[in-house]
Amino acid sequence: MSEENKNLSDDLNDMIGDVKENAKKAADKASELAGEAKEKASEFAEEAKETASEFVDSAKETFDNVTGDNKKVLAGVLGILFGSLGIHKFILGYNKEGIIMLIATVVGWFLCGIPSMIIYIIGLIEGIIYLTKSDEEFYNTYQVGKKPWF
């Protein structure tokens, strides 16, 4: 029986050795896979940052272009329709000039109407000028250059 116990003990020790060896191989493989996963995640993060940066740059450029174009059309149409009220000036950020046009129109209504007609004609001309300029020229003249009149 002692011989039999010794054989069982040897078999058990061999199995334990095999299990330890397989566990070590599995740990090595897991470590290798973790390193590869970390490398891939780093590459993915870098690509995501580049893509996000490109998207932000593209979106900013598009927003700048669209905003300039929308202000051009909006200011032009409002200048033609409601030029005497100076609304087109407020759209472009020229608050002082918008207030001047609005006050001149209101005062003109109380006097005889001629000053209001002159202010309306100024607004009409400005609206037409806004709409006939190219987007780039409008943007450079009225939004970057801040030219308040004509």
25 is written with which tokens?
């191989």
Distance, CA of 84 to CA of 61 (rounded, Å): 33
First to last CA, the chain: 114
Q: What is the largest CA-CA distance in the chain?
A: 130
Q: pLDDT (tens digit, 0 to 9) for every residue of the chain, 150 residues total?
A: 577 767 777 777 777 777 788 778 877 887 887 788 778 767 766 776 776 566 656 545 654 554 555 688 989 999 999 888 888 898 888 999 889 998 888 888 888 878 788 888 999 999 999 999 988 888 888 887 777 776
* Structural domain boundaries in the chain: 2-144
pTM: 0.52
**CA–CA distances in Å: residue 87 to residues 69, 72, 94, 130:** 17, 13, 10, 14
Q: How far apart are CA 75 and CA 64, in angstroms?
A: 16
